[in-house]
Amino acid sequence: MIGALLSGDLPRSRLLSALLLAVLAGLALAPFVFPGTKPLDVAAKACVFVLLVASYDLLLGYTGIVSFAHTMFFGIGGYGVAIALSRMETGWSAVALGAAAAVALSLTLSFVIGLFSLRVKAIFFAMITLAVASFFAILASQLSGFTGGEDGITFKVPELLRTRLVAYYLVFGTSLVLFLVLLRVVNSPFGRVLLAVRENEFRAEALGYRTVIYRTLANCFGAAVATIAGVLYALWLRYTGPNTTLDFGIMIDILLMVVIGGMGTMYGAVIGATIFVVAQNYLQEAMKAFSESMKGVPLLPDLFHPDRWLLWLGVLFVLSVYYYPHGIVGQLRAGKKA
């Protein structure tokens, strides 16, 4: 039963299973175990980012393509639902229409970008996506009549979602289901072909798989899931703006989460995103305390300033790419074998 639910891709490490169960339980029971507004916000953000990072892992870890446009699709989802809800009558039909339009736009865009640039090298795709995503971010901040510019859009959600508990479980449930779908996809024959493309494109092509088509499909699917994650996040925040969705910093965060959690494992997304979101919200306080206790020592207070936490994550990121290419999950699995 559990095997079927996880598509036969079990965690394969006792510690990892325990961690995943802890995360699942923590997120499932968050409204009851951790009362208060901030912990619930953190939990909802963790859910959304698990989904977002898992969809990115499909691209980076499984297909071996680096995209810098994932936040663009995330943003399209957020803006789609925000624009629909702020212009139409507040209701579920507006949510559905906004989400559907956003997914359609994301699919079209990712298809065009994919066909255009996935034929050539990974590097080319990375550069093109970076250019397109930054263009999109500028566009969103400039078309202020339509997107609210730098201020973003604050909007009303349907009656039912105004209860935080319901909204939380909508976010949690959708993320969980879509995560399981992603797990299903990467363990399907389609997912195996993606792995083959990643490992040896030439051989996959020789076996008769059109690698461009597989890559483009993976790109589109990843983009669609990211869009839905954007929709969820916007519904939870009841706000969409450049800083919550399109910022290049978020793209960096996603990269950090995937690599630190473990590329090409799906569970890495869960671990990476959870650790990152919790660290983002709680580690900074610890750093603040440390930085203040270091007052008087030259440079150290600056290095441990709470805003400098990205520095340390960046160092961790570089080290993990060198030494732990499969991240935390890979380490845990390897530890079991030894």
Partner 1 sequence: MKRADWIPVGLTAAIAIAALAFMGNPSTWLTLSIAGLAMGLLIFLMASGLTLVFGLMDVMNFAHGVFIAVGAYVGASVMKYLAAPAAADSLLENLGALLCAALAAALAAALLGWFFERVIIRPVYGQHLKQILITTGGLIVAEQLIVVLWGPDLVPMQRPTTLRGAFLVGDMAIEKFRLVAVAVGLVVFVAMMLLLNRTKIGLLIRAGVENKEMVEAMGYRIRRLFVAVFVAGSALAGLGGALWGLYQESLTVHIGAQMMVLIFIVIIIGGLGSVGGCFVGALLVGLVTNYVGYLAPKVALGTNILLMVLILLWRPQGLYPVSKS
Asked if 115 is part of the footprint of partner 1 (rule: CB under 8 A), the reply reads: no
3-state class (DSSP) for residue 57: helix
Q: What distance in Å separates the CA atoms of residue 145 and residue 161, rounded to the nearest whole number?
A: 27
Q: Which of 307, 334, 335, 336 binds partner 1 (CB under 8 A)?
A: 307
Q: Is 100 in the site for partner 1 (CB under 8 A)?
A: no
Provide the 3-class DSSP secondary structure of residue 153.
Answer: strand
**Contact between 257 and partner 1 per CB under 8 A:** no
DSSP per position, 174-215: HHHHHHHHHHHHHTSHHHHHHHHHHH-HHHHHHTT--HHHHH
Of 29, 131, 165, 177, the one binding partner 1 by CB under 8 A: 131
Q: Does 76 bind partner 1 (CB under 8 A)?
A: no
Query: Residues in contact with partner 1, total (CB under 8 A)?
Result: 40
130 binds partner 1 (CB under 8 A): yes
Q: Is 170 in the site for partner 1 (CB under 8 A)?
A: no
Rule CB under 8 A: is residue 135 a binding residue for partner 1? yes
- The count of C-alpha atoms lying within 13 angstroms of the C-alpha of 295, restricted to the half-sphere facing its C-beta, is 4
Is residue 180 involved in binding partner 1 (CB under 8 A)?
no
β-pair partners for 153: 240
What three-state secondary structure class fits 154? strand
Stretch near partner 1 under the rule CB under 8 A, chosen from 20-28, 129-137, 228-236, 289-297: 129-137
How far apart, in whole angstroms, are the C-alpha atoms of residue 43 and residue 15? 22
For partner 1, the closer of residues 66 and 170 by Cβ is 66
> Of these, 311, 334, 335, 336, which contacts partner 1 (CB under 8 A)?
311
- CB of residue 254 to partner 1, shortest distance in Å: 11
Rule CB under 8 A: say whether 303 interacts with partner 1. yes
State which residue, 29 or 139, has the beta carbon closest to partner 1. Answer: 139
Binding piece for partner 1, criterion CB under 8 A, among 25-33, 70-78, 116-124, 169-177? 116-124
The DSSP-derived string for 212-268 is HHHHHHHHHHHHHHHHHHHHHHHHHHTEE-HHHHT-HHHHHHHHHHHHHH-TT-SHH
Smallest distance, partner 1 to C-beta of residue 137, A:
10
Check residue 196 for interaction with partner 1 (CB under 8 A): no
Q: Choose the stretch contacting partner 1; rule: CB under 8 A; options: 101-109, 150-158, 237-245, 250-258.
A: 250-258
Structure tokens at 13: 């490490």
Tell me how far, at minimum, the Cβ of 255 lies from partner 1, in Å.
Answer: 6
- Which has the closest alpha carbon to 153: 249, 88, 223? 88
Asked if 284 interacts with partner 1 (CB under 8 A), we say no
Q: Where are the alpha helices (DSSP H) in the chain?
A: 2-5, 14-28, 30-33, 37-57, 70-87, 92-117, 122-142, 144-147, 164-186, 189-199, 201-206, 211-237, 242-245, 248-261, 267-278, 284-293, 300-303, 309-323, 327-337
Instruction: Say whether residue 124 binds partner 1 (CB under 8 A).
Output: yes
Eight-state DSSP code of residue 158: P
Q: Which is nearer to partner 1, 11 or 242 (CB)?
A: 242
Which of 131/165 has CB closer to partner 1?
131
Instruction: State the helix-helix crossing angle for 92-117 and 122-142, rounded to 10 degrees.
Output: 140
- Residues found near partner 1 in the complex (CB under 8 A): 60, 64, 66, 116, 121-124, 126-128, 130-132, 134-135, 138-139, 142, 248, 252, 255-256, 259, 299, 302-303, 305, 307-308, 310-311, 313-315, 317-318, 321-322, 325
